[in-house]
Amino acid sequence: MCVLDLRCIGISRLASRKPASPPVFLQCLHEHKTKKVTLLHPISEFEKAHSKAESMSNSILVTGGAGFIGSNFVLQWIENVATPLVNLDLLTYAGNPANLATLEDDSRYRLVRGDICDAEFVAAVLRDNRPRAIVHFAAESHVDRSIADPSDFIRTNVLGTFTLLEQAKLYWSGMDEAARRAFRFLHVSTDEVYGSLGWDEAAFSESTAYAPNSPYAASKAASDHLVRAYFHTYGFPVLTTNCSNNYGPFQFPEKLVPLIILNALERKPLPVYGDGSNVRDWLFVEDHCLAIRTVLERGRVGETYNIGGNSERKNLEVVTSICNLVDEFCPDDGSGPRKDLIKFVADRPGHDRRYAIDAAKISQELGWRPSVEFESGLRKTVAWYLEHRSWVQSVRSGAYMDWIRQNYEERVQP
Ligand SMILES: NC(=O)c1ccc[n+]([C@@H]2O[C@H](COP(=O)([O-])OP(=O)(O)OC[C@H]3O[C@@H](n4cnc5c(N)ncnc54)[C@H](O)[C@@H]3O)[C@@H](O)[C@H]2O)c1
């Protein structure tokens, strides 16, 4: 655990200073990097200043909008809603602004690069953009990475959420009565906080006791508890959603679905943990985004809503379905069916057996239901990865990080 991580939350105070050479906060962030914090691109003074240049009042603020679900949410929002959207994202390895390149000239969208752990920076973004709601996606999200090194997960998911909540509460406290009543803070969380289900156990409901088993799940559980406490203690108008596994366009290729699609395409081994019998519930990402918008618009303040796809599948079934789709789209070249490439590997430590979501509450109270069947969603997803080879190539090669450097860091060079 990197103790410096915690101290570096105070780096925000340096944001208003003139750039030194190199600025102290950059040294601090570089030190993060050497201590295995996944911060790949130091933040420049330019970005902080630039982000404060104009106002997007009456917007919504999204955190982590350059990640997998966040990108899909931002695109769906701009396509369907008139309200402008400010995207606060640190652009870690998982954040790719190229996902949102189509919005570059859209006056209703702005990307602000920064860290939710940076209290002064978050306060400035709130002050300058005057959002009427916050949708909080930003997180470290990959369970395997959390097992290898939990420190980033504690920093972003726990301390970052705390910092964001605290600054948002201060901002909200200064609003007039009508604006305070209308304000919402929607926290996006996961079904993994509920732990593991037996084969015959009832699906997770909103009253299932928390029992997180991985450092990722524990960090998300801690953030959920903080969000809940801000409602009960301060009356801060929060909403929480706990969703099952998402799949769809723009997912970082280390996650199961894109990993298997790309390995199958290239005829590489297809790693499956244990015997492949672990069960997850799967939801097409666009359905998740629509559910979040529904909760934001009509959810009852202080409530939690479980979101799921009614699509429980064993991991081995998911992998086999992907193999069959890739075989169909890219017919056999004589090398045999892709499912022959499946390779069972040592199980993930503490691997949860089964997750299943009871989404009756959101369905009955708010009328949301998943609209995409797993089989058709998976077909769309495989087709998307096959049609977006240049996106895959740029993510795998890290070329999008060059883009970030050009667009953010090099612009401050004399
Ligand atoms: N992927 C899933 O299946 C799933 C399911 C349920 C819930 N969730 C939750 O949804 C949210 C989004 O998940 P995802 O899969 O899109 O994650 P992701 O890893 O693809 O994206 C996370 C985003 O957060 C940004 N970020 C990370 N640290 C930050 C920081 N300190 N400050 C600002 N931005 C930061 C990253 O740059 C990235 O753009 C997470 O909170 C996750 O727990 C994910």
Run means of pLDDT, 10 residues per run, the chain, 414 residues: 23 27 26 33 42 64 98 98 97 95 95 98 97 98 94 98 98 97 98 96 98 97 98 98 98 94 95 95 98 98 98 98 97 88 92 96 98 98 97 84 63 38
**What DSSP state is assigned to residue 310?**
S
CA of 413 to the centre of ligand 1 (A): 30
What is the rounded end-to-end Cα distance, in angstroms, of the chain? 37
Closest CA to 194 of 216, 219, 207, 211: 211
Q: What is the pLDDT of residue 381?
A: 98
Q: Is 160 in the pocket of ligand 1 (CB under 6 A)?
A: yes
Q: Is 99 in the pocket of ligand 1 (CB under 6 A)?
A: no
| Class level of CATH domain 9-250+282-314+350-373 | alpha beta
d(CA 276, CA 293): 34
Q: Is 150 in the pocket of ligand 1 (CB under 6 A)?
A: no
Q: What is the pLDDT of residue 23?
A: 27
Q: Is 266 a catalytic residue?
A: no
Q: Is 216 a catalytic residue?
A: yes
Q: Where are the domains of the chain?
A: 9-250+282-314+350-373
Q: What is the pLDDT of residue 58?
A: 83
CA of 370 to the centre of ligand 1 (A): 21
Catalytic residue, from 191, 224, 287, 352: name it.
191
Q: Is 12 in the pocket of ligand 1 (CB under 6 A)?
A: no
Q: What is the DSSP pairing of strand 279-284 with strand 245-247?
A: parallel
The tokens of 95 are what? Answer: 């954040």
Q: Is 404 in the pocket of ligand 1 (CB under 6 A)?
A: no
Q: Is 326 in the pocket of ligand 1 (CB under 6 A)?
A: no
Question: Ligand 1 pocket: which of 5, 69, 284, 401 to mutate (most atoms <8 Å of CB)?
Answer: 69
Q: Is 254 a catalytic residue?
A: no
Catalytic residue, from 45, 118, 120, 192: name it.
192
d(CA 1, CA 6): 10
Q: What is the DSSP pairing of strand 279-284 with strand 270-273?
A: unpaired
Q: Is 306 in the pocket of ligand 1 (CB under 6 A)?
A: no
d(CA 221, CA 195): 10
CA of 230 to the centre of ligand 1 (A): 21
